[in-house]
Amino acid sequence: MTHRFEVLLLLLFGACRPTAAHPPATIPVAPDLETRAQDNDDPIRVAITVDDLPAHGPVPPDVTRLSLHQRMLEAFAVHQAPRVYGFVNAARAADAPDHLAALHAWVDAGHPLGNHTFSHPRMQDLDLSAYLAEIDGNEPLLAELVHDPSVYRKFRYPFLIEGTSEATTLAVREHLRSRGYRVAEVTIDFFDWAFNPPYVRCLSLGDDEAVTRLRGLFLDHALRMLQWSDAAAKQMYGRAIPHVLLLHVGAFGAEMMAPLLTAYERSGVEWITLDEALADPVYLDVPIEPGVTQGTLLDLMIEARGVAHPPRPIQPTAELDAMCRSASSAPRD
């Protein structure tokens, strides 16, 4: 198995722009995913969504936000990913000359945009009226870019926080409903955003070996979370469901988009639209916690209803946080 995964990584990275001088690190992939594409299982149907347009996380020097968007869009085109929703924070659109151009590039490529609030606040930091104003205040830019309200009225909660109490959760949901929004719940989240800061740190230090390790960790964890989400949903609902994948428009996400899509396809994934995924009735039954309601749909079902689920993969948080911090020249995130 180790040899086959090593070959897979080499094939995946062969189409990437090289940033490392060493072959990718060997990290075993979960056996179920390694063999799934050779079995007769039905495909895992996945809708791709991308948060925090037009700007997320740190970027290497001389890399523009427009170039990151273009690289993602190129990968979507090659892999024929249909109508990938990008969720926008309008407050960032004027931060640099190319930010608005990045949003136009997304729309020009045939992909829709949705609402991710104006400035990506934590709900705990605002009162209810201010949070609702964040939703409404994001609409003018979306209307300018998309024109059709039925397209841009998809909503993604920042930090996947849906409410700070049962009352606020219900109030925000009612506000969204009254304005014609559909919430874009998530079922696959492998914390891709956490890989961006170490990537930029390691590039700044010229640590090619660490970047190679980072690539391997990214794909391995992405595949393990795909497997977990597929298995957990089947255990929860007694059947396969269409999934919604959460990604972010970051520097490492753009670097890894093509390898990620290839790895998912080889693991049995078939790309669908967000609308196709949300048509499944499981997305109409979203639990509410008495306190903070936060997480993917699968997380909420587990926490609120105590449903059985497979053991969760361990996040590589500690390793990511420690990478490329030893030198004084490492940039601050």
What is the total count of domains within the chain? 1
Task: Examine residue 223 and state whether it is found in any structural domain, yes or no.
Answer: no
Structure tokens at 253: 């996400």
The confidence score (pLDDT) of residue 97 equals 86
Alpha helices by DSSP H, listed for the chain, are 2-14, 31-36, 65-78, 97-108, 128-137, 139-146, 149-152, 166-178, 196-205, 208-237, 251-266, 274-278, 297-305, 317-322
- Whether 87 is in a domain gets the answer yes
Q: What is the CA radius of gyration of the chain?
A: 19
Q: What is the pLDDT of residues 118-148, one digit of tens each?
A: 999 999 999 999 999 999 999 999 999 999 9
Q: 17 in a domain, yes or no? A: no
pLDDT in tens, 148-190: 999 999 999 999 999 999 999 999 999 999 999 999 999 999 9
Domain of 108, in residue numbers? 51-189+240-310
The answer to the question of residue 245 being in a domain is: yes
In a domain, 305, yes or no: yes
| Full-model pTM | 0.88
The mean of the pLDDT values for the chain is 89
Count of alpha carbons within 13 angstroms of residue 143, beta-carbon side: 7
Q: What is the CATH number of the domain that holds 88?
A: 3.20.20.370
Task: Note whether residue 41 is domain-resident.
Answer: no
